[in-house]
Structures are given as structure tokens and as C-alpha cells.
Chain A
Amino acid sequence: MLSFIGRSIIQKIITLFFVSVISFLIIHLAPGEPSQVDPLNPKFTPEMVERFRREFHLDRPLHIQYLYFYRDLFTGKTTSWKDNQSVLKKILERFKNSLWLFMVGTLLTWTLSFPIGIRSAIFRGGLYDRGTTFFAYLLISIPGFFFAYILIIFVVNSFHVPVIGMETFGIGEPPWYRWFMDRIWHLLIPSVLGATGGIAILSRYVRSQMLEVESQDYVRTARAKGLPQDQVHYKHALRNALLPFVTMFGLILPGLIGGSVIIESIFSWPGMGRMAYEAILARDYPIILTVNFISAVLVLVGTFVSDVLYMVVDPRIRL
């Protein structure tokens, strides 16, 4: 166990190094330069551009730039090229907004997909099963932005509440219950949208996992000795089917920073995804690279956590 942890940590650090190199190369070898992003601005005199390039080490060779960038990142001194603010502070601020979407979305995903998946596994081949199967494909296939507009039209027309942004613009200082409801309405649609794909995929996975366990010998034994159906389903089958899902707790970590670019820009939600999108438009390399780096770290930590969890819950696995 300890040797596995040590080996995989070393392996992940090497992977992370290559990710950092590749993302740095992709950004810096692409055509165009960040100092030329606004050539029509009269304030951008050649002297200004020169100062800008010197300030951010853009006049140095690429490998020196790489070292400078990651030194700054690890000491927390990276600044955005656009407004000279600390990148980590900016990310933290946006991260708090995205966290709400992420939490509600994850909660919806995990609470809805289990009952749906279990029920369609129990009534396999029935109307409910076939209905949810088709519905799951529908949810996987629908473009997020199209679904967003359908929901906007529906909610705005039938409930007459504004949904764009984090709170109603110019709402002032309402009593706390109105403020609370306002926040809920604004939070609901983006997080439902964020959860749809997850619900569809996870409920299919729950279903197939349940079906696999239901065909095991010990479930047949439980049935044969005359246990009530509920006990067979929920005590013998479900508990064993849950095993792989423990590991998925690790895999939802990357979603923390992923934040859907499209949904956040439709709803003007000031979250991570939108910040990354704005940074791409402005060629704000420090932000792009930092977001990329953090999300790579989260992916690696997520797979690591899920491997370790799997070893803890499943005694058959000894890596």
C-alpha cells in the first residue's frame, strides 16, 4: 500500500511536469503575441509595448520564461497581464461563485441518479426502464446552450422571475426571505443544466452496475431462501453495487474548477469558466496557464484519491 502510494505520487509529479511544459508550449508557440492584442489603442506606443514585454519577461527565451512563470506560480506572485491583480486572488474570488453551482449540481446529480438507476434496473425492460433510457440519451445529446434557452423561456414565461446573473440587477436591500428566494431562482437553472449530463450518465451506470450484481449467485441465493424482494434489492444487491461509486467521489474533483464556459457565459455567472473564457479572449496567459495547471492537479489528485479509496473499500484489490 505505501509503496503504491509512493510510486503513484512520483508518477503523477512527472505527469504534471509534462503537462506544464506542454500547456506552456501550446500557449506560447501559437501565432500572435499578447503585446499586440490591442494595436488600435493609441496608448500602445512602441515604448509601452517594449516596457510591457520587459515587465513580463516576454523578451527572454522561452525556457527562461517557463522558469519565471512557474517560480511565480509556486510563490503565489503571478499577476494577470490585463489588470496586474494577483491571479490566485482572482481565481479564489471566482471559485467561490462557481462552488455554489458545483455543489447544487453535484447534489442534484447524486440524489437523482441513484433512485432512477435502481428503479430501472429492478424493472428491467419495462416501460419505465425504456423511458428513462431514451430520456437519458436525450439529455446526453441536447446541446447545453439550447437547453439553457428552453429553460429560460419556460421559467421566465411561467414564473415571471429574472434568471440571468447571480442576483436580480438593482435589487437593492430586500428583506432576507426575498433575497434568499432571488438567489435560489438564479442558482437553480444553471445548476440543473450543469447536472443534466451527469444525471444521464450516472443513472445509466447505476443501472448497469445493479443489473450485474442482480445476476450474481448470492442474490439468487437470497431470493431462493425466501427473503422479501425489498431486502434482496436494497440489502444484498445495492450494497454490493455501490462499491465502484465510492471511487467516483475522487473523480468529481476536477469538476470543481471545470465550470462550464458556455453555461456561465449564457447566465452571466461570474465563475471560473467565464473567467477562463475572458482570459482566452484577452490572451491573458498567466490566468489560462494557472487554471490549466490547477485543473491538471485536480485530475491527478482525483484519480489518486479514487485509486486509494478503491483499495480501502475493496479488500480484493491489492495494487
Chain B
Amino acid sequence: MKTNTRSVLQEGGMERPLVPRETRLQEFWRLLKRNTLALLGLIIFVLFFCIALAGLVFTSGTKPIFDPAMVRLQEKLRPPLSSPNLETLLPEEAPRLGVYLFGTDDLGRDVFARMLQGAWVSLTVGFVAVGIAVLIGIFMGGISGYFGQNHVRMDQIIAGFALLLGVGLLTAGAAFSGAVLLLIGSAYIPFSLWWKKELGKGPPPNWMKVFFTGAVSIDTLIMRFVDIMLCFPSFFLILTVVALLPASMYNIMVVIGLTSWMGTTRFVRAEFLSLREQDFVTAARALGVSNWRVIFRHMIPNAIAPVLVSATIGIATAILTEAGLSFLGFGVPPPHATWGNILSDGKGFIFDAPWLTFIPGFAILVVVLSFNLFGEGLRDILNPKLRERY
């Protein structure tokens, strides 16, 4: 009887577990091909990536192939596709392609070379800023979703507060009191470890109970912090910080990253809260898998879809923010070209030299649009409701 059922199970197709007919990647590609706009976005994105990489290679170094900083005052404000006046130029000043592909600006610099240089800035700012935001977001959201129910004890809060206040007082100039608080705070950490080892078996004495009650859950703490961060008007905050810090590309990336992780945190927390209750996580924990392995091997791969979508759209937003900052004059410092400051330099000539506005403007528009379209397409593709089941 038993063997009979087994053979039936193996031959009768219904109950036998089927190997998926296609891998995840094949399925992804098939769904992507149906979504024309998303495919278009991906193609433009790949193109943009290649152009930015080429731009980095061709415009950097001491003798670049396309020199974005070469000033030719006799050739200023030439329209796109105009050929240079070779009699007035030194041989090494002539544009590399024979024509000014995108024209020249008010100092006679080749806009094509400047656009190439600016592409790399847009790309790195977008990716690094979003990378920072996603890392912080996954970290905070993961802690909040997985360990969120644990409570922070009163003594830990007091120690943390002492540490923070110590750092604050030190930076504010009050050296002695700051150092004392810092010392007390950091001395508490080994003390509490020792305490746990020595007296962890019995309950703490009565008078100390007040220090060992849980005051506030980690989840509440992190989510309230997210609320606080969301109260700041984001562009205004970025502008303030960037204006106060010395101008550099890295500051902009870090500042944009540090002010845009809140959305990811909320997504990851929500995903973790629902994943934690699912059977495969319970099974993994029942097998004795460690917390970190459960998080990294079982939960993050399942929570990554909304993060990917919001990251793709976040790159678009970061590129727009960087262009806006450059436009206001707070971007990458001047000799270096970015799309935002090419446009900003050209704003005095919008009627005489409209290409200085239109070329960088269209470039930003197309790149940001491609990221947005690809991100929205990704949202559809990764949506399990749209997948076909075999």
C-alpha cells in the first residue's frame, strides 16, 4: 500500500514537486521585455553608465583627450555643430572632433567635454548617496523589525545619555565635565558586562529594580527618530548643511545620503515584521540558526524588492537634488563641470545661447526619467501577484 502511493505520487504529476521552468533571472527578463517603458529606462541607464565611465577616462588626467577646462575666449558662445575658426586657434586648442558638437560656453569651453565630465559626477552622486541611504535604512529597519520588541533598560539609557552629553559638552568646549561624563558612560559598558556575568543568575536586589525595568522598546526609539528626521524640510536641510560645510563632491553625497534613509527604514521594518512571523523563519530558528544568519540569509533576500525599487527612484531624486544644488552654486567647486552648473552658467544667456540651457537640461531629464521609469517597472516586475505560477 505504502509503496503504491509513493509510485503514484512520483508518476501522477500533480503532487510531484516541479522544478521551476525558468530561473529567477529568466523570469525577470521575460517580464521586463513586456514592459516597454521600463526596458527603455534600463537601456538609457546602461548607456548613461557607459558614457559616464568614458567621460571619466577621457576628461581626467593632465592631458585629457577632451579638455573640459580649455578656455578659448575668441571662440565663445558658438552654437552646436559649428566648426572652429582654425586660424585663431593653436593646434592643441582645436576641438578633438573637428566641430563643437554641443557648442561652446561664455568662456569658449567645449560643452561636449564639460557634459562628459559632468556625467560622472551625476552618476557617482546618485549611486553613493543612495548607497549610504540604503545601508543605513537596512541597518536601522532591520534592527527595528527584528530586535524591535526588546526593551532598552533604564541603566542603558542613562549610560547612553551620559555618553552623548559628554561628547556634546566636549565639542562645546566644556572639557572637564565632558570628559568626566564620557568616562562614566564608557566605564559602564564593561561594568554591566561584568555585572551580568556575576549576578546574572539571581534577580537584582530590590532597590536596583528601577534601573533594570525596560523603559522603551528599540522599535519605538528608532521609529521616533525617523519621525524626527522627517520633520526637517529635506532640500532646505541639505542646502543648509552643504552651505556650512566646505564645498566638495563627497560632502554632497554624504549629506544627501544621511538625509534620505527614512523611507528605506520604514520599508525594511515593515517587511521584517511580516517576514519574522512566517514559517520558514520559525523553521530556521528552530534548527538553531543564529540570528545574524537568519537575517542575512533568510530575511534580507526576501525583503529586498521594495528596497530596490525605492533605491532606483532614490537615485533619480539624488541626481535632481545634486543638479539643484549645483544650480544654486553649492555643488562641486567651480573648475569641475557638473550638469547643474553648466546650466547655471548658461542662465545669463538663455535667449542668446539657449543650448547652454537645453543640452544639460535634457540630459538631466532623460537620465532621471530613465531611472524613474525603470524603478516603476521594477515595482511591477517584482510584484509576486503578476508572476505566473507553474
Residues in chain A within 8 A of chain B (CB atoms):
11, 14-16, 18-19, 22-23, 25-27, 29-32, 61-63, 134, 137-138, 140-146, 149-150, 152-153, 156, 254, 257-258, 261-262, 265-266, 273, 276-277, 280-281, 283, 288, 291-292, 295-296, 299-300
Name 26 A/B residue pairs within 8 A (Cβ), A-sorted: A15-B224, A22-B228, A23-B232, A26-B240, A62-B168, A134-B37, A137-B37, A138-B369, A141-B365, A143-B320, A143-B323, A143-B327, A145-B343, A146-B343, A146-B357, A149-B343, A153-B357, A257-B233, A258-B236, A261-B236, A280-B239, A280-B243, A295-B233, A295-B236, A299-B230, A300-B231
B244 and A27: CB pair below 8 A?
Answer: yes
A31 and B245: CB pair below 8 A?
Answer: yes
Min CB gap A260→B, angstroms:
8
Once A22-B228, A153-B350, A261-B236 are accepted as A-B contacts, the answer to whether A281 and B316 lie under 8 Å apart by CB is no
**Which of B21-29, B171-179, B280-288 has 4 or more CB atoms under 8 Å from chain A?**
B171-179
Give every chain A residue within 8 A of B364 (Cβ-Cβ).
143, 146
Selected from A62, A276, A288, the residue in CB contact (under 8 A) with B172 is A62
Mostly, the A contact residues are helix
Q: Is B235 an interface residue (CB 8 A)?
A: yes
Once A262-B328, A292-B232 are accepted as A-B contacts, the answer to whether A141 and B240 lie under 8 Å apart by CB is no
Give every chain B residue within 8 A of A138 (Cβ-Cβ).
365, 369
Please give 18 more A-B residue pairs, beta carbons under 8 A apart, in addition to A146-B357, A149-B343, A153-B357. Answer: A27-B240, A27-B244, A61-B174, A62-B168, A137-B376, A141-B316, A143-B324, A145-B323, A145-B324, A145-B344, A254-B233, A261-B236, A266-B347, A273-B236, A277-B239, A292-B240, A295-B231, A299-B231
A31 and B246: CB pair below 8 A?
Answer: yes
Among A25, A146, A150, A265: residue with most chain B CB under 10 A: A146
B231 and A288: CB pair below 8 A?
Answer: no
B368 and A141: CB pair below 8 A?
Answer: yes
B236 and A292: CB pair below 8 A?
Answer: yes
Min CB gap B370→A, angstroms:
8
A149 and B323: CB pair below 8 A?
Answer: no
The 6 closest A-B pairs by CB, nearest first: A146-B361, A30-B244, A62-B172, A141-B369, A141-B368, A296-B231
A273 to B323, CA, bound (A): 18
Closest to B344 in A: A145
Q: Is B144 an interface residue (CB 8 A)?
A: no
Q: How many residues of B contact A (CB 8 A)?
A: 46
Give every chain B residue within 8 A of A153 (Cβ-Cβ).
350-351, 354, 357
Give every chain A residue within 8 A of B239 (Cβ-Cβ).
261, 277, 280
Residues in chain B within 8 A of chain A (CB atoms):
37, 168, 171-174, 224, 227-228, 230-233, 235-237, 239-241, 243-246, 316, 320, 323-324, 327-328, 343-344, 347, 350-351, 354, 357, 360-362, 364-365, 368-369, 372-373, 376
A53 to B181, CA, bound (A): 28
Closest to A146 in B: B361
A300 to B37, CA, bound (A): 38
A297 to B324, CA, bound (A): 26
Mostly, the B contact residues are helix
A27 to B241, CA, bound (A): 8
Selected from A18, A30, A258, the residue in CB contact (under 8 A) with B228 is A18
B228 and A19: CB pair below 8 A?
Answer: yes
Among B244, B327, B360, B362: residue with most chain A CB under 10 A: B244
Once A276-B236, A296-B232 are accepted as A-B contacts, the answer to whether A149 and B245 lie under 8 Å apart by CB is no
Closest to B329 in A: A281
A43 to B320, CA, bound (A): 41
Give every chain A residue within 8 A of B227 (Cβ-Cβ).
15
A15 and B357: CB pair below 8 A?
Answer: no
Give every chain B residue within 8 A of A277 (Cβ-Cβ).
239, 328
B357 and A281: CB pair below 8 A?
Answer: no
A140 to B369, CA, bound (A): 8
Give every chain B residue within 8 A of A137 (Cβ-Cβ).
37, 369, 372-373, 376
Once A31-B244, A143-B361 are accepted as A-B contacts, the answer to whether A19 and B327 lie under 8 Å apart by CB is no
Closest to A280 in B: B243
A108 to B347, CA, bound (A): 27
Give every chain A residue within 8 A of B351 (Cβ-Cβ).
153, 156
Give every chain B residue within 8 A of A16 (Cβ-Cβ).
231
Min CB gap A201→B, angstroms:
12
Give every chain A residue within 8 A of B323 (Cβ-Cβ).
143, 145
A30 and B241: CB pair below 8 A?
Answer: yes
Min CB gap B290→A, angstroms:
35
Give every chain A residue within 8 A of B232 (Cβ-Cβ).
19, 23, 292, 295-296
Give every chain B residue within 8 A of A19 (Cβ-Cβ).
228, 231-232
Selected from B244, B328, B368, the residue in CB contact (under 8 A) with A265 is B328
Selected from B233, B235, B354, the residue in CB contact (under 8 A) with A292 is B233
Once A31-B245, A138-B369, A141-B368 are accepted as A-B contacts, the answer to whether A280 and B350 lie under 8 Å apart by CB is no
Give every chain A residue within 8 A of B236 (Cβ-Cβ).
258, 261, 273, 276, 291-292, 295
Closest to A291 in B: B236
B228 and A15: CB pair below 8 A?
Answer: yes
A170 to B287, CA, bound (A): 81
A152 and B240: CB pair below 8 A?
Answer: no
Closest to A293 in B: B231
A153 to B343, CA, bound (A): 14
B235 and A261: CB pair below 8 A?
Answer: yes
Min CB gap A273→B, angstroms:
8
A143 to B366, CA, bound (A): 10
Closest to B320 in A: A143
A313 to B256, CA, bound (A): 37
Min CB gap B42→A, angstroms:
14
Closest to B323 in A: A143
Closest to A138 in B: B369
A284 to B111, CA, bound (A): 37
Closest to A257 in B: B233
Give every chain A residue within 8 A of B368 (Cβ-Cβ).
141-143
Give every chain B residue within 8 A of A258 (Cβ-Cβ).
233, 236
A144 and B324: CB pair below 8 A?
Answer: yes
Min CB gap B357→A, angstroms:
5
A288 to B235, CA, bound (A): 13
A153 to B240, CA, bound (A): 31
Min CB gap B347→A, angstroms:
7
A22 to B232, CA, bound (A): 10
Closest to A62 in B: B172
Once A137-B376, A300-B231 are accepted as A-B contacts, the answer to whether A288 and B240 lie under 8 Å apart by CB is yes
